[in-house]
Structure 1
Amino acid sequence: MEHAEAQLAEVELLLSMFPSQEELEVEPVAYAELRCFVEGTSECPPNTRPELCVKIQTHTGVEVSLSCTYPSQYPAVLPEIVVRCGELSRAQHACLVSDLRLYLCESCSGEVCVLSAIDWIRDHTSEYLVGGEDFDRGARGEEHPSAEIFTRLWIYSHHIYNKSKRKNILEWAKELQLSGFCMPGKPGVMCVEGPQAACEEFWSRVKVLTWKRIMIRHREDVPLDPANQSADLPRCFDGFEEAAFDPHGNRGNHMDLGQLFHYLSERGCAQIFQLYFGVEGR
């Protein structure tokens, strides 16, 4: 309830600041469910995650679109953020998104952050519009390297059956040097961890495949010490694997979730089970 109240307060603040649908679009069903839950007219938490899209014009007249999707635990975790700007090259865009996430990690931990993201984009986008494809952090005159971000994505799907999808998931994770696992069946569960850019690339490939339902259930972003970039990443998994836990059912497509909980517990991730399934593991 505390998270839902914070989400609703932020959405309503943004609606008051951007009253035109041309400036702000809010997914109406999710907003209605969130409001009913907070106001007590519904006892069920929202089934649809709140989504919003803000059209931002920077101080130099550049148009940027910021889309945000709230995880159920937001603002305890960062929202899923997508930035679109036709004037940014791919390299410029990647650097802007990385720096935006780093700013939100360091400045808005545990607090609502969409308004802060809007202000940051409005103030800083022009700094990235230099250098074309050769753009790098040196082009902005930085004397010290920025901290890299280690990311862990916990992905939930209605089901994962298709052999081609499963093959792609394994190959992409290994290509991008990500660790984690994929549990096929119904439901399907994935975790990938590694450098933020690699995790974002993995998600961008996976989400455009045909799914009945797929989402990032939880996200972890950890800024790393820029003075010690050679240090080992704080991984929970060794490599990437497809993990099956006593498949059963008519099609052999259901897993023993107790074994999944044990698998997560061994890797220090037991708390994720409740985020996935809404009950404590055992």
Structure 2
Amino acid sequence: MTLPVMESSNIMAHLEQAESHLAEIELLSSMYPGEDELVITDQLAVAELREYVEGATDTYPLSRPHILIKQKLDTDTVKGVNVTISCTYSSDYPNVLPEIAVRCPDLSRSQQAQLHSDMNAYLSESCRGDVCVLSAVEWVKDNVHLYLTDKSTSSSSTAAPGRKESRSTCSSPQPKEQFSRLWIYSHHIYNKRKRKNILEWSKELDLSGFSMPGKPGIICVEGPQSACEDFWARVKVLTWKKIIIRHREDVAVDSRRAEASVADNADSLRRFTGFEEAMFDPHGNRGNHMNLGQLYQYLNERGCGDVFQLYFGIEGR
């Protein structure tokens, strides 16, 4: 009697998977109606999928639907960047991730490889067991700028050989660098991968500060404004119940000084030495609550005690 039950459960599993494939393809077709936006490279595979879902055949389709989503990104962070997202469905999707590749002529091979690695890590953590193509598209839109090389920097900042700068260029005021400190609040921080990402990204971007895991979760990063914004752009796209910037501090750093002086001036604004994960007497059934009195002392010792009230609505002591 066991075999028929197993066969029945397999049939139901295949049907549910096929239904999710078809529903996602139809959703994507409605969201990207233009012929140049969504390309279904194998219409026969989709037709076979539809026949199976609608009961016209009992044979589970062996063909694997393949789609291309083409986007020209024009956002605050990227302008006119063409991206193609290629997706090949597997028979076990969404229980396993589909084969997703991103092609962008503005990315080098190494940048593209890093983007793929980070995207798959995000999808593995956030979408396992659920359809994920739309999540992949949104992730690429939000994050592709982090992997692009600014090709104009060297050419625009270096004058042509033998050409003197004009008087107006020399006398125009230079923009001031910004030093930032972001105070981030999360409903909770438990996930080990997120905690590892926070530590690695802060080190990579030369940010100081701390993160407090548990419930609630707190992150503080400080350093050059561009690096802080980069950190926030990476963190906010992870899956959170709630995450916001509770408070931010921005201070102008005089960029007319020598480069070394600017760096020294920025470093003098730091309240933290390096970046660490800080634990304050964890307690509770899951060890996920921290001693807020110890947190206040930690902040107060670094001249940040006033932030405690911004987080918790009460004065620390």
TM-score band by shorter chain is: 0.5 to 0.7
CA shift in 2, pair 1:163/1:145, >3 Å: same
Q: Pick from 236, 240, 251: which aligns with 1:222?
A: 251
The higher-RCO structure (CA 8 Å, 6+ apart) is 1
Q: Indicate the residue corresponding to 1:199 in structure 2.
A: 228
CA deviations on 1:38-90 (whole Å, 9 max, x unpaired) are xxxxxxxxxxxxxxxxxxxxxxxxxx87xxxxxxxxxxxxxxxxx35635999
Change in CA separation of 1:146 and 1:138 when aligned onto 2, cut-off 3 Å: farther
Distance 2:80 2:248 in 1: 28
Query: Would the alpha carbon gap of residues 145 and 154 (structure 1) be closer, same or farther in structure 2, given more than 3 Å must change?
Result: same
Q: Which amino acid aligns with 1:278?
A: G
What's the Cα RMSD here? 2.9
TM-superposed CA distance for 1:229, in Å, is 1.4
Structure 1 distance, partners of 2:298, 2:284, is 21
Give me the whole-angstrom Cα distance separating, in 1, the residues matched to 2:153 and 2:198.
29
Identity of aligned residues (%): 62
Aligned positions of 1:111-126 closer than 5 A: none
Match of 2:91 in 1: none
- 8 A contact 2:253–2:265 mirrored in 1: no
Question: Whole-Å Cα distance in 1 between the matches of residues 299 and 250 of structure 2?
Answer: 19
Q: 1:252 aligns with which of 287, 305, 308?
A: 287
Kindly tell me: are residues 253 and 202 of structure 1, through their superposed partners in 2, closer, same or farther at Cα, counting changes over 3 Å?
Answer: same
Q: Residues 87 and 138 of structure 1: is their aligned pair in 2 closer, same or farther, counting only changes over 3 Å? A: farther
Count the aligned residue pairs.
164
Residue 86 (structure 1) aligned with residue 79 (structure 2): yes
Q: Displacement, 1:230?
A: 3.7
Query: Aligned AA for 1:149?
Result: Q
Query: Are residues 239 and 136 of structure 1, via their aligned partners in 2, closer, same or farther at CA, if it must alter by over 3 Å?
Result: farther
AA aligned opposite 1:272: V
Q: Could you list the per-position Cα deviations for residues 174-221 of structure 1 after superposition, in whole angstroms to 9, with x for gaps in the alignment? A: 011100000000000000000011101100100000000000000111
SS in 2 for 1:165: helix
Whether 1:208 aligns to 2:241 is no
Whole-angstrom distance in 1 between the partners of 2:245 and 2:226: 16
Residue 147 of structure 1 and its aligned partner are, at CA, apart by 1.5
CA-CA distance at 1:146 after TM superposition: 2.5
Indicate how the Cα distance of structure 1 residues 84 and 178 shifts in structure 2: closer, same or farther if over 3 A, else same. closer
Task: Structure 2 unaligned segments of length 5 or more: list them.
Answer: 1-73, 83-105, 107-150, 160-164
3-state SS of 1:166 partner: helix
Distance 1:162 1:280 in 2: 29
**Change beyond 3 A, Cα 1:136–1:157:** farther
The ranges of structure 1 where at least 4 consecutive aligned residues each deviate by more than 4 angstroms after the TM superposition are 87-90, 131-142
User: Could you tell me which of 276, 283, 305 is aligned with 1:241?
Assistant: 276
Q: Tell me the amino acid that sits aligned with residue 262 of structure 2.
A: Q
**CA distance change for structure 1 residues 138 and 189 in 2, over 3 Å: closer, same or farther?**
same
Partner of 1:265 in structure 2? 300
> 1:190 and 2:222 equivalent?
no
**Alpha-carbon distance change, 229 to 261 in structure 1, aligned in 2, over 3 angstroms:** same
Q: Relative to 1, partners in 2 of residues 1:153 and 1:86: Cα closer, same or farther, differing over 3 Å? A: same
Larger radius of gyration: 2
- Structure 2 residue 166 is matched with structure 1 residue 173: no
Return the offset for 1:225.
Answer: 1.5
CA distance in 1, matches of 2:184, 2:308: 12
Residues 1-282 of structure 1: matches in 2 within 5 Å? 83=76, 86-87=79-80, 132=152, 134=154, 136=156, 142-143=169-170, 145-226=174-255, 227=257, 228-233=261-266, 234-282=269-317
Structure 1 range deviating more: 265-274 or 133-142: 133-142
In structure 2, what residue type is equivalent to 1:217?
R
